[in-house]
């Protein structure tokens, strides 16, 4: 029985060494055990947790240890695999089933605390591909699992100076043409998309998916944005798809959370359905974006917090951009449509997504976005109103139901008008 540290921990340690730093990124450590059986692992105190193949938790560290295994494709998509784990399966057999060469390296457990300086087991030349900044598949078994297309795209977003090897690009295109991505399950698609959105340059994920044809299968609402023109005076980059990639990268630059980045991804979906005869104008695209967003969320089972934030951004980003022209009453109505009084934290994320949209344009990446501060101020002023006191006085005046709400709204409008030096309808 022998144990090895494999995968990302080895890759990141080698990358840190090449960069002149002994501190790599913080990743979970993956362990492979060769020459063991499930019974021998349990006898040593490991806790079995794997359902499809033998995986165990270390009795002290709780890290995952997997028995070396091979796998065989049995059906289309992600769930059609048969796994074989036995003492005779070698480390090289296990590494051969992995996705990319840079993830198919290992060091012996006794060197795990300093993997950057340990002898590396590297049967597929991952170290050379790290040096060459190349994402290359290990073997043609890559084609058996369509999730690997998403993983390759995600690693392109994590390491934006890496390119996908030409032979891997060809293989991914063939997988798409053979319909493999059509069998992907929603949970795995969202898992990889969400991870890719949080990477250093999320645009690279979508560029890779678009190049191999997978984006058209998975997110046709996004894929159709390329080639759709916008008015040059507002969007010097003109192409809507190019703009979307700039917005996503701005969201990474501003360290936005996942829900905000997803909102950035979906904010302009409606521009892909604008009638050609009215281009490059996109009147009413916000409502169409919200409708298409619901289709995307239903298809990939997007979490509620991402769905709700994206819906607000899709519907209201145009109004938020124009909010500098609004008076107090219109500002309060905008806050109410965004549910800002009830969910002020989410509203801050809405404003950040809109800033990413405004700065994700050619020549505008350093531009100020005063709308964010102005609307934050308006919200603070509206929240300063003691609604319980206003409601109590309204009821004392004989008002009930919606008329109490109208009284509260007028009080908020007055507070915003006075605090921001705006005209009040009263």
Give the mean model confidence (pLDDT) for residues 211-218: 98
Average pLDDT score over the chain: 92
What's the pLDDT tens digit per position in 13-44?
999 876 654 444 446 788 999 999 999 999 99
What confidence tier does 394 reach under pLDDT thresholds 50, 70, 90? confident
Percent residues over pLDDT 70 in the chain: 94
Of 154 and 80, more confident: 154
pLDDT at position 19 is 61
pLDDT at position 411 is 95
pLDDT at position 24 is 42
pLDDT at position 82 is 66
pLDDT at 293 over 60: yes
What's the pLDDT tens digit per position in 164-181?
999 999 999 999 999 999
pLDDT at position 264 is 98
pLDDT at position 75 is 62
What's the pLDDT tens digit per position in 323-338?
999 999 999 999 999 9
If one counts every other C-beta atom within 10 angstroms of the C-beta of residue 37, the result is 15
pLDDT at position 115 is 82
pLDDT at position 426 is 52
Give the mean model confidence (pLDDT) for residues 354-381: 97
């Amino acid at each position: 029985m022998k144990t090895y540290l494999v995968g990302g921990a080895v890759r990141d340690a080698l990358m840190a060494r090449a960069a002149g730093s002994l501190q790599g990124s913080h990743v979970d450590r993956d362990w492979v055990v060769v020459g063991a059986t499930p019974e021998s692992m349990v006898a040593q105190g490991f806790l079995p947790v794997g359902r499809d193949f033998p995986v165990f938790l270390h009795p002290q560290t709780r890290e995952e240890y997997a028995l070396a295994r091979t796998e065989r494709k049995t059906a289309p998509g992600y769930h059609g695999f048969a796994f074989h784990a036995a003492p005779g399966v070698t480390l090289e057999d296990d590494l051969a089933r992995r996705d990319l060469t840079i993830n198919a390296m290992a060091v012996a457990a006794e060197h795990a605390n300093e993997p950057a300086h340990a002898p590396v087991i590297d049967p597929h030349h991952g170290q050379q591909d790290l040096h060459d900044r190349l994402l290359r598949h290990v073997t043609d078994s890559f084609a058996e699992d369509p999730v690997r297309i998403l993983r390759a795209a995600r690693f392109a977003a994590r390491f934006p100076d890496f390119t996908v090897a030409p032979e891997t690009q060809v293989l991914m295109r063939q997988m798409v043409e053979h319909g493999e991505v059509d069998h992907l399950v929603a949970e795995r698609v969202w898992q990889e998309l969400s991870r890719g959105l949080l990477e250093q340059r999320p645009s690279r994920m979508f560029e890779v998916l678009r190049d191999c044809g997978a984006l058209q299968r998975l997110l046709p609402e996004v894929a159709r944005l390329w080639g759709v023109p916008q008015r040059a005076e507002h969007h010097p980059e003109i192409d809507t798809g190019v703009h979307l990639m700039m917005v996503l990268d701005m969201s990474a630059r501003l360290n936005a959370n996942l829900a905000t980045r997803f909102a950035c991804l979906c904010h302009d979906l409606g521009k892909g359905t604008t009638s050609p005869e009215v281009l490059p104008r996109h009147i009413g695209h916000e409502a169409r974006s919200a409708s298409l967003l619901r289709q995307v969320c239903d298809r990939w089972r997007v979490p509620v917090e991402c769905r709700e934030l994206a819906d607000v951004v899709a519907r209201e980003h145009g109004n938020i951009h124009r909010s500098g022209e609004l008076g107090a009453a219109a500002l309060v109505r905008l806050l109410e449509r965004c549910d800002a009084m009830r969910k002020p934290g989410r509203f801050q994320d809405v404003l950040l997504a809109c800033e990413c949209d405004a700065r994700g344009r050619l020549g505008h990446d350093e531009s100020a976005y005063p709308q964010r501060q102005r609307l934050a101020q308006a919200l603070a002023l509206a929240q300063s109103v003691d609604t319980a006191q206003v409601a109590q006085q309204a009821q004392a005046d004989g008002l009930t139901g919606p008329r109490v709400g109208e009284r509260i709204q007028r009080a908020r409008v007055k507070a915003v008008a006075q605090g921001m030096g705006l005209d009040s309808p009263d």
